[in-house]
A and B are shown apart, each in its own frame.
Chain A
């Protein structure tokens, strides 16, 4: 905890309805965020029990610099992923980090299973286990509204909730945080559902007395000033992440029609500019972020005859425009927003949901599955049927949709079409097919996400070279272990080089050097690799769908052998991490 020599952990047992606080000096070496969360997961993981066993845990943690420096806004969740069967690690913004910080918890561990549906009301002074039986089955935003009305602390609280998909244990169920941010990937919503935990409200009205006001304010002001003068502000505030849509398309890198291609003819109505002009109604930010990249778009829906319209607003991002747009051949921003509304309501991970539907569409076209199974004919561009399919996934309507709810890897294993089930180790691909970097990055990334090491970024760099790719991906993965211990939003990553982190830490009385931070990051990465091993993951045994090697990424035709060699090289680097130190 800030200004203390320990990490303050709240451990909640849902079965017993008890909780304890511990002050863990031993965790201080792991900085915060992913560093402490991976240690806590290591302690609580029961690899001999099923993934969704009541004894498994969820760990939330904030970082060493959380929310008192600009763009340091995220909370990490770590768990055993029911989707991939290995490391579950996901980040969400919103107000959660700020409220945990103000409630004076560095980490919250949740284990056990409630006897009936409940929600947790957590404040600096208490944890309450509250009845949520009547909320079971309700959509995510409805739950948000109810809790908002029941709990105190407007502006100082954060509300996490799951939708029906989480209750029904769809393996890629998400958790919505403060309406517009999510623990999207890898099925945290599923784990919450398995624990009968519908929602969590964290109320942060406490405070921390500043030790050295002058030093802190100087460091804060400098970084704030830097944040305002970088191109970050303009880039991410003006159009938000969708600014990338047209560029990615021009570079032939945006996965389209289940990655049959990486160039979308009909992109014009799906670009950042198109969304901004047609749908954008406001922008917002996570607490502590001056940028404000969250873009809210609105569309109008006719729900009955006689000019009956409703206006619906949801947040949109690059990833969603890819997964629920180009990947499925949708043509307009309104259609994409309506898809987003559906995944929000059901509480599904938007990326996995879109990619799974991409596989299903192609499998349907190829006759691997029939309409008796899909219930509606699936075709690229047919948004109305996709909306129905999303509901079927969330409800697990029949055997087929139940399997589809287990992820594209599971579905392809049963029905065929593994060559075009676009996942890596069970996690559905993200919106970048830029070249070797994107596939390598997601393949070796600790959680198989594009954000583990930003491998796709190296493909686009002017000085791209196959010889240095493995090293660069590795170094970035390591550096992000550090950023994710702070926990800085990755959009602010260029602001937080090691030197800046040293200065910021010093201003709150934590002495570090660039070297000591580097070492801490290596230890954190090792913990994660150990966890993956315990969960049964073997990097070199990974099999990638053929489609990655059929459809050129960023104009490059990838070869499987070459990629496998890169993966092996990377794996060797990981091994040296262990031999070097021990």
Chain B
């Protein structure tokens, strides 16, 4: 039993923090609200730090690290709202690595930037692979895929794909006529592929509506388990990134609660403020325990990874939601203005909770995994 970070993991985290600290990412997030071009391109930083190859095996030029390590990096990015395209990148590299794809060397070196086009694995209540629609409650069908030799032809649309704009390679999932998932690596310049860049509310999150009109890609020979794993990996990543945000909300709010005085006392001595802050801490610690669980499970207990990643997403998603609101509340009026960082974290929380199927879908998945463990459907 050893459930603590190793020395190497602590170093990795410190290195990530150090690298990110050289950029004014939070200020950039504010400026980008008015001018999206103000966002610095952090891809070179990611490449220099070796993040593209984090989950790629050493034989393909990667670092061959675990999800656990990737989650620590995502957490650091989340702390400072850094627009590093990990959410698109890492699940894509996991699929490419499992497929032993020819692009791996170039991806690990940072010459190609892949983006994962998420598809949700079927569940007890919802058969079939589904994707995010542009609007509305019902999930959309995954693109239709037909395999032609070593190629796949895709037809359909996936909305709000993280980090798709500017990616050089899209790792997409379609359903073939039998309902089996098929993965394809589609080059950004493939005829029939279009990526319509959008931002919604959170200036740091690059999103794209990805449309396939008979777009062709390279067949990636992986099974449904690898594609489901990518989905849960994306959940674990957004959870880690959210947890990083919660940490900042807590740190900033605690500092303010010690220095802001009303009625002759620091507001942090008032119990409702003190207890609101301990509630952020409680949720933060819970999310951290689950992040460790997810990181550990992907490597050591893959059967539990869907449960662990979904629980991590559910906990961290709610934690960021409430921490961002608490940060605003604890700061009083200024917390609701652009003068303060609080709205940036609030915007991050509001968008994150609605991406990748939404936080509550992850909560449902926790229920489903527990029910399946208790009694198969």
Partners in one complex: no
Residues of B within 8 A of A (CB): none
Residues of A within 8 A of B (CB): none
